[in-house]
C-alpha cells in the first residue's frame, strides 16, 4: 500500500486551484439513472470514490464516457440490471444513492446495505422509511435492500426527517422527481451539495423548490431529459488547504472558491487570527504575522460547522495558543485522528464526544496510520506542522476524497511525496533468501 512521506516545519506559501466537490459529484452522476438521455457532468474531480461510482453505473449498464477536460457523460438509456452488488457498495457508502433513482424510474431496485464504517454505524433507516412513505415495499434480505412499487409508481408524500441526513435528502429528492404528485421533504439537509444536485435535476426537467432550506417541495413529472451540469467546487478541500496554511503559519490562495459555502469555517479562521481576503475568483489566507489562537467549535448540519472539517481543526487547535474544545455531534466515532496526534506530541483528551485540547509549541514527526478520509487529511496537516519526517500509512483513504493532494501541497512549498507500496500479494526476499510476504498493513 502506498504511503505519504512528509517533511514538516515549513510554512506553506502558494496557490491552489480547487477541484469539483466529491459530495456533489456523487449524487449528480447517479442522477443520470433518472433519465434515458445522456447527462454531461463538468468539473468532475479525479478521485477514487468517483471512479467507484462510475464503475457502479457501468455495472448497471450505463454507458460512461470521459472527455478531456474533467467532463464525464453518463447515458443510462439501456440499463441491464437494477442490482447494486455488495462488492461495489462496500467500497463506497454513497452507492446507496442509486436506490431512489432506480426505484422511481423502473419500479424496483436491489441495493446492498452499505454497512457501517470507521466513523460510525451510518444507518440508512431514514432513506428506507421515506421510500415506504412514498408507497414502496421495502424488505431487507441477506444484506440487501429489496424495494419495489406497483405499476403506478411512487406517490408524493410529506416526509419529515427526524435527523438531518445529507444522502437521505438526496435519495428521496431523486425518488420524488418522478413520483406521482407532490412530495415535501421537511427537516431536509441544506448542504450546498444538495442544492447543486437540485440545480442539476431542475436542468433535467425536475420541478423542485426550496433546495437549500429545510423544506424542499417536489412536483413529480413524467420523465426527465438529458442536461449538462458543472459541479460546484469542493468546500471541504478548500477548508483543508486553508487549515494547512493556517497551521503552518503560512499563506495560501484558493481559486474557484465560493465563500457562501464556507461561511462558518471562514468565521472560525478569522477568530483564530487569520487574515482573509475574498475576491470574485477566490480567497486568500495569511497567517504569517499572527499567532494562531485556538477556537472552540461544535459540529452541526449546514450552515453549522461541518463535521468533515472537524479533524483538521483539531490539528490546528493542537498547535495554536491556548486551550479549546471540539465537540462532534454528527457521527459517534470521529476522533480516531486524536490517538495518532497524541503520538506526535499533541495534548488532547477525549471526554465523550468532546476533545479537550491544550495547544503545544510543536509536534514531532512519526509513523502514523490513516483511518478514514478526513482523519487522513488531518495527519497530512500534522506532518506539515511537525518537526522531522512523518510517514502516513493507508493513504487509500485520502485518495478517496482529495484530488492530487501531494501535488497541490508541493506547489505551495510542502515537502511531501508518495512512497509506492508493495502490492498486497508480492513477496520480499529476506536476507536468508527465503521469501516472506509483507505484513498486511
Ligand atoms: C454525507 O454523508 C457526506 N457524504 C459525509 O461526508 C458527511 O460527513 C455527512 O453527509 C454529514 O455532513 C456524502 O455526501 C457522500 P448523513 P451521509 O446521512 O449522508 C444519521 C466525507 O468525508 N443517519 O448526513 O452518509 C447518521 O448516522 C463524508 O466526505 C441516520 O440515523 O451522512 C449520522 O449520525 C464522510 N439514519 C447523521 O444522520 C439515516 O438513514 C448524519 O448522517 C441516515 C443518517
Q: Which cell goes with 103?
A: 426505484
**CB distance 99 to ligand 1 below 6 Å:** no
pLDDT of 425 > 60? The answer is no
In short, whether 247's Cβ falls inside 6 Å of ligand 1 is no
* pLDDT reading at 429 higher than 50: no
The pLDDT score that the predictor gives to residue 422 is 64
The whole-chain average pLDDT of the chain stands at: 94
Distance of CA 24 to the CA centre of its chain: 9
Q: Which of 19, 20, 21, 23 to mutate to test the pocket of ligand 1 (most atoms within 8 A of CB)?
A: 23
Q: Mind listing the pLDDT tens digit for each residue in 90-146?
A: 989 999 999 999 999 999 999 999 877 778 888 899 999 999 999 999 999 999 999
pLDDT of 428: 45
Q: What is the pLDDT of residues 43-87, one digit of tens each?
A: 999 999 999 999 999 999 999 999 878 999 999 999 999 999 999
Residue 438, pLDDT score: 35
CB distance 407 to ligand 1 below 6 Å: no
Question: What's the gap in Å between 412 CA and the centre of ligand 1?
Answer: 32
Give me the active site residues, please: 117
* Nearest residue by C-alpha to atom 27 in ligand 1: 122
- Judge whether residue 336 has pLDDT over 70: yes
Atom of ligand 1 at shortest range from CA of 401: 29
**pLDDT at residue 441 tops 80:** no
pLDDT at 118: 79
pLDDT, tens digit, for every residue of 259-294?
Answer: 888 889 999 999 999 999 998 889 999 999 999 999
* Average pLDDT of span 210-220: 98
Residue 129: CB within 6 Å of ligand 1? Answer: no
CA distance 321 to 358: 8
114 Cα–ligand 1 center, Å:
12
Candidate from 17-26, 242-251, 409-418, 423-432 with smallest mean pLDDT: 423-432
Residues 425-428: contacts with CB within 8 Å, 24+ apart? none
- Which of 260-264, 326-330, 344-348, 362-366 bottoms out in mean pLDDT, i.e. has the lowest? 260-264
**Residue 70: closest CA among 403, 399, 418:** 403
**pLDDT, position 430:** 46
Which atom in ligand 1 lies closest to the alpha carbon of residue 330? 34
pLDDT > 90 fraction of the chain, expressed in percent and rounded: 88
pLDDT at site 421: 84
pLDDT of residue 431: 42
Q: How confident is the model at residue 436 (pLDDT cuts 50, 70, 90)?
A: very low
Interval between CA 438 and ligand 1 midpoint (Å): 35
Phi, psi of 393 (to 5 degrees): -95, 165
Residue 423: the pLDDT is 60
Burial category of 129 from C-beta neighbours within 10 Å (exposed 0-12, middle 13-18, buried 19 and up): middle
Q: What is the pLDDT of residue 136?
A: 98
C-alpha cell at 225: 431529459
Q: Cα of 23 to ligand 1 centre, how many Å?
A: 11
Give the residue among 401, 373, 308, 392 at the shortest CA–CA distance from 51: 401
Asked if residue 126 has its Cβ within 6 Å of ligand 1, the reply is yes
| Cα 308 to ligand 1 centre (Å) | 10
Contact 96, 124 (CB under 8 A): yes
Q: Does residue 307 contact residue 378 with C-beta atoms inside 8 Å?
A: no
324 lines ligand 1 (CB under 6 A): no
Amino acid at each position: 500500500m502506498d504511503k505519504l512521506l512528509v517533511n514538516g516545519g515549513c510554512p506553506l506559501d502558494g496557490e491552489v486551484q480547487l477541484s469539483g466537490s466529491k459530495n456533489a459529484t456523487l449524487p449528480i452522476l447517479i442522477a443520470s439513472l433518472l433519465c434515458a438521455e445522456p447527462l454531461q457532468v463538468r468539473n468532475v474531480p479525479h478521485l477514487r470514490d468517483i471512479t467507484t461510482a462510475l464503475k457502479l453505473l457501468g455495472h448497471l449498464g450505463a454507458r460512461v464516457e470521459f472527455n478531456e477536460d474533467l467532463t464525464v457523460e453518463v447515458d443510462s438509456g439501456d440499463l441491464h440490471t437494477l442490482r447494486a452488488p455488495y462488492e461495489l457498495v462496500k467500497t463506497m457508502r454513497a452507492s446507496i444513492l442509486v436506490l431512489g433513482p432506480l426505484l422511481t424510474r423502473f419500479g424496483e431496485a436491489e441495493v446492498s446495505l452499505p454497512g457501517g464504517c470507521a466513523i460510525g454505524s451510518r444507518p440508512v433507516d431514514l432513506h428506507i422509511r421515506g421510500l415506504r412513505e412514498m408507497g414502496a415495499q421495502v424488505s431487507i434480505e441477506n444484506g440487501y435492500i429489496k424495494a419495489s412499487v406497483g405499476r403506478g409508481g411512487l406517490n408524493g408524500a410529506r416526509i419529515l426527517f427526524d435527523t438531518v441526513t445529507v444522502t437521505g435528502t438526496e435519495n428521496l429528492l431523486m425518488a420524488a422527481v418522478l413520483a406521482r404528485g407532490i412530495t415535501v421533504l421537511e427537516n431536509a439537509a441544506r448542504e450546498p451539495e444538495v442544492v447543486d444536485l437540485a440545480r442539476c435535476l431542475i436542468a433535467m426537467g425536475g420541478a423542485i423548490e426550496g433546495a437549500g432550506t429545510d423544506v424542499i417541495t417536489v412536483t413529480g413529472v413524467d420523465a426527465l431529459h438529458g442536461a449538462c451540469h458543472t459541479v460546484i467546487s469542493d468546500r471541504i478541500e478548500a477548508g483543508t488547504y486553508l487549515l494547512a496554511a493556517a497551521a503552518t503559519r503560512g499563506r495560501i490562495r484558493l481559486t474557484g472558491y465560493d465563500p457562501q459555502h464556507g461561511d462558518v469555517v471562514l468565521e472560525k479562521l478569522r477568530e483564530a487570527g487569520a487574515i482573509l481576503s475574498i475576491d470574485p475568483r477566490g480567497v486568500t489566507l495569511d497567517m504569517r504575522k499572527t499567532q494562531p489562537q485556538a477556537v472552540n467549535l461544535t459540529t452541526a448540519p449546514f450552515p453549522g460547522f461541518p463535521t468533515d472539517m472537524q479533524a483538521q481543526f483539531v490539528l490546528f487547535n493542537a498547535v495554536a495558543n491556548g486551550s479549546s474544545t471540539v465537540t462532534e455531534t454528527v457521527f459517534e466515532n470521529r476522533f480516531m485522528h486524536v490517538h495518532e496526534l497524541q503520538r506526535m506530541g499533541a495534548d488532547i483528551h477525549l471526554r465523550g464526544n468532546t476533545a479537550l485540547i491544550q495547544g503545544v509549541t510543536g509536534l514531532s514527526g512519526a509513523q502514523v496510520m490513516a483511518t478514514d478520509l478526513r482523519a487522513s487529511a488531518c495527519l497530512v496537516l500534522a506532518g506539515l506542522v511537525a518537526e522531522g519526517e512523518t510517514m502516513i500509512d493507508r493513504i487509500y483513504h485520502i485518495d478517496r476524497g482529495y484530488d492530487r493532494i501531494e501535488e497541490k501541497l508541493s506547489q505551495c512549498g510542502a515537502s511531501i511525496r508518495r512512497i509506492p507500496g508493495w502490492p498486497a500479494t508480492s513477496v520480499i526476499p529476506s536476507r536468508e533468501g527465503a521469501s516472506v510476504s509483507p505484513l498486511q498493513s
